[in-house]
Amino acid sequence: MRCVIEDDPYVWLEDVEGEPALAWVAERNAETAAALAADAGFTALKEELREVLDASDRIPYTVRRGAFLYNFWRDAEHVRGLWRRTTPEQYRKDAPEWEVVLDIDALAAAEGEKWVWAGARVRHPDHDRALVCLSRDGGDAVVVREFDLATRAFVEGGFQVGEAKTRIGWIDADTVFIGTDFGRGSLTDSGYPRTVRRWRRGTPPEEATLVFEGRAQDVAAGGWHDSTPGFERDFVFRSLDFHHSEMHLLTPDASLVRIDVPDDADAYAHREHLIVSLKSAWLGHPAGCLLAFGFDAFLAGDRTAEVLFAPDERTALAGHSWTRHHLILETMRDVSTRIEVLTPTPGGGWARKPLADVPALSAVSVVDTDPDVSDEYFLDVSGFLQPSTLYRGEIGAGSEILKQAPARFDTEGLTAEQFFAASEDGTRVPYFVIGPDRSAPDSAPGPALLYGYGGFEVSLTPFYGALTGRAWLARGGTYVIANIRGGGEYGPDWHRAALGAARSRAFEDFAAVAADLVARGITTPAMLGAAGGSNGGLLMGAMLTRCPHLFGAIVAQVPLLDMLRFHELLAGASWTAEYGNPDNEADRPHLRALSPYHQLTADQVYPPVLLTTSTRDDRVHPGHARKAAARLRELGHRVLLHENTGGGHAGAGDNEQAAHNNALMHTFLWQHLTPPVRPASG
């Protein structure tokens, strides 16, 4: 039963496309444009950022699909982008020859739609057809169309699905698993598919055979076909909430065999293995372990596991990827990445050795592998002040530098360091500081921007931020990334420490980092800005209402701010496992205490705030930002709102929008965090 929602005078701003709401948004956008876009340095900054986004010498990252390497590319000429491909031989060249597979700009012009590329499901192992997903102006909901990769054209009479938050994937040449909006009862309360159906070519989608069904209160249900030759299997799952799920093997006779792992674990089949990533202790193995079982033996009841990774208090699993004969393991030690290769041995067990040396305070990620055919891998290595280098290698046969990105900003005199702050409960919280070298005794505090997220087990690892480099670092600012609880930097326990009613620990961690920056003389409260998006926008709202004295300006992007209504808005019901459920009387008190929207008062002094959102964000409702802006205005506080009409949850659907949004944010920060220049005394 739904609880009674407290009176909210701005609930009318939740009407996404309502005329009064859009008229109000237009007024706020005009105010923001006058304050920021009219700034003397705005146009030049935006052009600098657009130059980075459109640069032709960016690394074109690819995904192998059979004989081709596929890439999606946007630049000044191709605003919506090109889906294109080349051969491995061509890709080695400085200027590869690309074959255009699908021109999204041409498609958008021909159909009069603001199409945004949302990916494609290529049929495996033939790689001859694709299910292309297209979003209207950047939303999560997509339309799906079958595409012929040989003729480079949509298939007339092929698989097509109308706009919805669809899950779809190939079973064979003429059959797909599909979950979509089939009408009443087919979606969960979160707006995602509740059913899994087997749909055959040439039949109406509503006649697709139901093979699995979740509950309305689940987040979603889905199914997929493992097409690995010799290991073909079908699976279905239901996400009970954002962090718990059930997986079943779907047998040829349509019966279900539960994959009996903890419901908070991540599990999948790979050839003869069942791979399980633990979020809680199980079978004597601690949370954070990566385990391998024999798939058939596991189904028969054998729970003998081989430990592929075991964490310690400073080390966590970051990711893993398969080649044909090996497993590439990515781990983090104090948030810096390490990488090694694991190889199953004939007598049992796994041999392991380092794959590559990674510089300190750097990140390494596996871009792509080809697990069906070879032990080839593509590896990207970068750092805060080091542009990306793309390596191509083959395990056992060495590696080579394939591509190197040029520097986008001047790093002369800049350093990257890691520090640790003590949170309110004594927890040691790491954070990265990138900015001017302050080793000289007379170094003075300067403008700093502190970024954080702190939720959903998302880890913030080192990266080369070209936009931040140009807009902030190159102009003398210091950029700081806080690895607060709620993220995954130290594994599942780091995330779990800030769940639900404990969410305030993430806020305390962020505030501790802010105070530590001041204590170290890096900045002052008046020169310290904070920024975060989505769940990080909730963090920004918490900083505004809980610790306004620590900051000189705050930016919240596509933020979550009303914690008593979030579950009623768009995909919000899927996040109750992270925050709590406002319909649960036991959760409501802590959610009200966490809710920035409900903590705003007239008698508090707040730093100036910039809120950004998108009308087409169908994940975090734009009403969060709209209502908070209205409430702040009513209370007499300094606030600007910019709502992009498109772009979805990313806030931008093309490079022009991305450059504009970034220029707005950094102009706002420079306006408020740079000390005024005072005339010399006479």
pLDDT of residue 407: 97
The stretch 162-173 carries a mean pLDDT of 97
Considering 384, 407, 430, which residue would you say is the last residue of a domain?
A: 407
The stretch 240-260 carries a mean pLDDT of 96
Judgement on whether residues 288 and 423 belong to the same structural domain of the protein: no
Task: Give the H or E element holding residue 23.
Answer: helix 19-32
pLDDT of residue 342: 97
The confidence band for 398, taking pLDDT boundaries of 50, 70 and 90, is: confident
Judgement on whether residues 579 and 457 belong to the same structural domain of the protein: yes
The confidence band for 647, taking pLDDT boundaries of 50, 70 and 90, is: confident
Q: Tell whether 96 is covered by a domain.
A: no
Rounded Cα distance between 492 and 483, Å, is 14
pLDDT of residue 652: 84
Q: Say whether pLDDT at 144 is over 70.
A: yes
Q: Say whether pLDDT at 179 is over 60.
A: yes
The stretch 399-425 carries a mean pLDDT of 97
Q: Say whether pLDDT at 55 is over 90.
A: yes
Per annotation, catalytic residue among 534, 574, 595, 614: 534
pLDDT of residue 682: 39
The pair of three-digit structure tokens given for residue 277, joined into one six-digit string: 């990533």
Judgement on whether residues 359 and 440 belong to the same structural domain of the protein: no
At 129, is the secondary structure helix, strand, or coil?
strand
Residue identified by tokens 């299997």 is 233
Rounded Cα distance between 602 and 241, Å, is 37
Considering 343, 375, 407, which residue would you say is the last residue of a domain?
A: 407
pLDDT of residue 185: 94
Judgement on whether residues 469 and 575 belong to the same structural domain of the protein: yes
pLDDT of residue 363: 84
pLDDT of residue 289: 98
The stretch 13-33 carries a mean pLDDT of 97
pLDDT of residue 679: 42
Q: Say whether pLDDT at 541 is over 80.
A: yes
pLDDT of residue 648: 87
pLDDT of residue 598: 97
The stretch 611-625 carries a mean pLDDT of 96
Q: Tell whether 174 is covered by a domain.
A: no
Rounded Cα distance between 152 and 174, Å, is 19
Closest CA to 130 of 111, 142, 117, 145: 145
Q: Tell whether 436 is covered by a domain.
A: yes
Q: CB-based contacts of 109: which residues, under 8 Å, 6+ apart?
A: none
Judgement on whether residues 435 and 538 belong to the same structural domain of the protein: yes
* First and final C-alpha spacing in the chain: 72
- Asked if residues 607 and 548 have their Cβ atoms less than 8 Å apart, the reply is yes
The stretch 273-295 carries a mean pLDDT of 97
Judgement on whether residues 460 and 564 belong to the same structural domain of the protein: yes
Phi and psi of 635, rounded to 5°?
A: -85, 0
Judgement on whether residues 284 and 382 belong to the same structural domain of the protein: no
Judgement on whether residues 399 and 415 belong to the same structural domain of the protein: no
Q: What is the largest CA-CA distance in the chain?
A: 92
Q: Say whether pLDDT at 348 is over 90.
A: no
Per annotation, catalytic residue among 624, 642, 649, 660: 649
> Residues 455-482: pLDDT tens digits?
999 999 999 999 999 999 999 999 999 9
pLDDT of residue 545: 98
Q: Say whether pLDDT at 356 is over 90.
A: no
Q: Is 666 a catalytic residue?
A: no
Judgement on whether residues 384 and 436 belong to the same structural domain of the protein: no
Name the residue type at position 265.
A
Judgement on whether residues 566 and 626 belong to the same structural domain of the protein: yes
> Residues 8-21: pLDDT tens digits?
999 999 999 999 99
Judgement on whether residues 305 and 324 belong to the same structural domain of the protein: no
Give me the domain span that covers residue 523: 11-49+408-673
Question: Which conformational region is residue 123 in: left (phi greater than 0), alpha (psi within -120 to 50 degrees), or beta?
Answer: beta
Rounded Cα distance between 282 and 263, Å, is 11
Considering 309, 336, 363, which residue would you say is the last residue of a domain?
A: 309
pLDDT of residue 81: 97
pLDDT of residue 358: 77
Name the residue type at position 595.
S
> Residues 219-239: pLDDT tens digits?
999 999 999 999 999 999 999
Q: Tell whether 26 is covered by a domain.
A: yes
pLDDT of residue 676: 61
Q: Tell whether 433 is covered by a domain.
A: yes
Rounded mean pLDDT of the chain? 95
The confidence band for 680, taking pLDDT boundaries of 50, 70 and 90, is: very low
Judgement on whether residues 289 and 378 belong to the same structural domain of the protein: no
Number of domains in the chain: 3
pLDDT of residue 675: 67
Q: Is 574 a catalytic residue?
A: no
Rounded Cα distance between 540 and 197, Å, is 41
Q: Say whether pLDDT at 503 is over 80.
A: yes
pLDDT of residue 6: 62
The confidence band for 646, taking pLDDT boundaries of 50, 70 and 90, is: confident
